Amino acid sequence: MKVKDNINVYPHIMPSMKDWPITRFSEERDAFIERLIKFTMDRLMRSAHSVEDLLDKSIYLERQRVKNNPWSVDPGDEKLYWKSLVKELDEAKQAEDPALAQQKLLRRIVHRYSEEIIGFFIPKTFNFSRKFLTAFFKRLFNNGWGRGHRGIWGSKKDLQKKIIVDGYVDELRELFNHGTVVIVPTHYSNLDSIMIGYGIDSNVGVPAFSYGAGLNLYDYEVLAYFMNRLGAYRVDRRKKNPIYLETLKSMASLSLIEGLNHIFFPGGTRSRSGAIEDKLKLGLLNSVIDAQRYCIVNDINQKIYVVPLTVGYHFVLEAGSLIDQHLRQAGREKYHRGSSKTSWFRVILRFIRSLRRNDSEVYLSFGQPMDVLGNYVDRKGMSMDDREVEISIEKYFSKEDVPNVDSQRESVYTRILADKIVNSFKRENIILSSHLCAYVAFTMLRQENPELDLFELIRISTESFEIDYEDFESRCSKTFEDLKAIQEYDVKFSAIFSKSMKEVIHDGVKNLGLYHYKDPLKWASKSSLCCEDFKLLYYYHNKLIHYDLGSVD
């Protein structure tokens, strides 16, 4: 058993933002776009589809998107642009040199997509964001009650103590001297990108990373302003056409090849169920392998490192909507959402009161760094096999000792890397008091109603469910012992688990769903607990389901 109570704040490895890779990329944005266009065009020209087929399919799909699923964030000329391309493509087919005319049209589309995808990094905006987010997170994670008007905000040191950094942090910092770093985190909340970015700057002391942001988020002017200037690149999940997908993948690969550090959310989107992701988006991970192979084939001295990151919260602000989406998808006709009579004014008032009265923590647990094949690496970035013998990864991208391209081989490597990342997520996850309480409480609810399936269970009246505290404490203790007994790896616990189980439970109940209007778990009396929202309780219970604990009797 490992109890995590270390509060580490590291000095910055590059104090001046002028030295950061992301600053250099932003300063050379136009030149990078030109290289990206050439890189993407080369790949499209080598694809199995003709240029004419690529254009026909992409223009058709884009016109359908503009017609059936327009967003306010789309460019004002979007509809006219794709309509005009239909005529231009017909003219290109009739040109004296159709192939050349179609290539020019293809290049224009790739250029438009490149400009759309790639953002900026403005140091002045980053400095402002440091100050703003310090104030925001101080209020979100620090208790201001009883400290007077000035004490509402706490101090930055107080905030840094609430960001618990754990795992292979020294190794992560050292890898910046040896190659490109890709952090692959779990994904639970819209706050993740901001929280991770702030935490690695404030506590881990490493330069800012580039990261993908859904284009839909740019519909909010304030968010758009900052994301456009903080190294985010835009991802439009509506666009499924081959030209856009290749441009996006090429951007990820080329920027990695040229040394830009990235944050990739390998699950692709937030975990709707609340559980740790176990099915990752292989296309995104394949771009990492693709970039490493390109470096080897073209004799570029650039190694790419993958660092899993497990993020832990006591609460997720949007948990209610996320679990609703999960249940709707999983249950289909079995799931009945029901009507909500909750006043938004009361929800906001509860949130403001909670900001004043409560504090919490966030956990950033870094897994052991690995190369793109899933081999662990040492602090110097050298790959090691299972016997901790140094190995060269060049041979894995070669045939008869000659580096080559083999998409089938690399698809196997992608699945291996995905499995290694998922295993790291589970191994580095830090169990919180709130997660234990939710797991045990929902398991007790299930055991009291064995004849009901999940969708029937969450519809029963919450007033009919009350937990005897002594029984609850006994079951929490047993589950804690079962977790410690897991032999596959050494399970990690937050610092509160070094105290008595009574203190663990009080901490867990206090923190569970801290800012929700309805409590997933609360005290009904000194000797019993109750629940106001079974769906939320189920969501937080799912944080521990990957341990396969079974009964808590």
pLDDT for the residue 162: 83
d(CA 42, CA 163): 44
Cα separation, 291 vs 340, in Å, equals: 48
Compute the average pLDDT of residues 153-168.
Answer: 81
Element (H, E) at 141: helix 123-141
Residue carrying the six token digits 């284009």: 215
Residue range 58-113, pLDDT digits in tens: 999 999 999 999 998 899 999 999 999 999 999 999 999 999 999 999 999 999 99
Tokens of 521: 């778990």
Place of tokens 């993908």: 212
The beta strands (E) that lie in 102-170 are given as: 163-167
Distance between CA atoms of 406 and 395, rounded to whole angstroms? Answer: 13
- Helices of type H across 242-281: 242-257
Residue 268 has pLDDT above 70, yes or no: yes
Residue 6's pLDDT band, with cuts at 50, 70 and 90, is low
**Domain range list for the chain:** 7-313+360-428, 430-547
Q: What integer is the mean pLDDT of 164-177?
A: 95
- Evaluate if residue 546 carries a pLDDT over 80: yes
**Whole-number average pLDDT of the chain:** 89
pLDDT digits (tens, 9 = 90+) for 318-346: 899 999 999 999 888 787 776 555 544 45
Please state the rounded mean pLDDT for residues 495-509: 96
Separation CA 425–CA 310 (nearest Å)? 6
**Residue 478 near residue 470 (C-beta atoms within 8 A):** no
pLDDT at 354 over 90: no
Distance CA(44)–CA(537), nearest Å, equals 48
Q: What are phi and psi of 23, to 5 degrees?
A: -65, -45
Q: Across the chain, how many H-helices and E-strands are there?
A: 21, 18
User: In the predicted model, is pLDDT for residue 146 greater than 50?
Assistant: no
Distance, CA of 93 to CA of 99 (rounded, Å)? 8
> For residue 160, is pLDDT > 90?
no
Please give the Cα distance from 549 to 433 (Å, whole number).
Answer: 16
DSSP three-state, residue 130? helix
Q: Which residue has the higher pLDDT, 530 or 268?
A: 530
Rounded-to-integer distance, Cα 156 and Cα 134, Å: 7
Quick one: three-class SS letters along 407-437?
HHHHHHHHHHHHHHHHHHHHHHCEECHHHHH
**What's the confidence (pLDDT) of residue 358?**
58
Q: What's the pLDDT band for 133 if we cut at 50, 70, 90? A: confident
Helix (H) or strand (E) holding 45: helix 29-45
Q: Using 50, 70 and 90 to split pLDDT, how confident is the model at 149?
A: very low
Q: Which residue has the tokens 């910055």?
A: 12
- Which of 484, 543, 491 lies closest to 512 in space, CA to CA? 543
* pLDDT for 135: 82
Phi, psi at 429, each rounded to 5°: -60, 135
Give the pLDDT of residue 458: 92
Phi and psi (nearest 5°) for 402?
-115, 120
What CA–CA distance (Å, rounded) separates 442 from 200?
34
Residue 213 confidence class, pLDDT cut points 50, 70, 90: confident
CA distances to 36, 133, 187, 316, 432 from 313, in Å: 38, 17, 11, 7, 8
Q: How many Cα atoms sit within 13 Å of 433 on the Cβ side? A: 24
Q: Which of 317, 319, 328, 335 is nearest to 536 (CA)?
A: 319
**Residues 239-249: pLDDT tens digits?**
999 999 999 99
Q: What pTM, to 2 d.p., does this model score?
A: 0.91
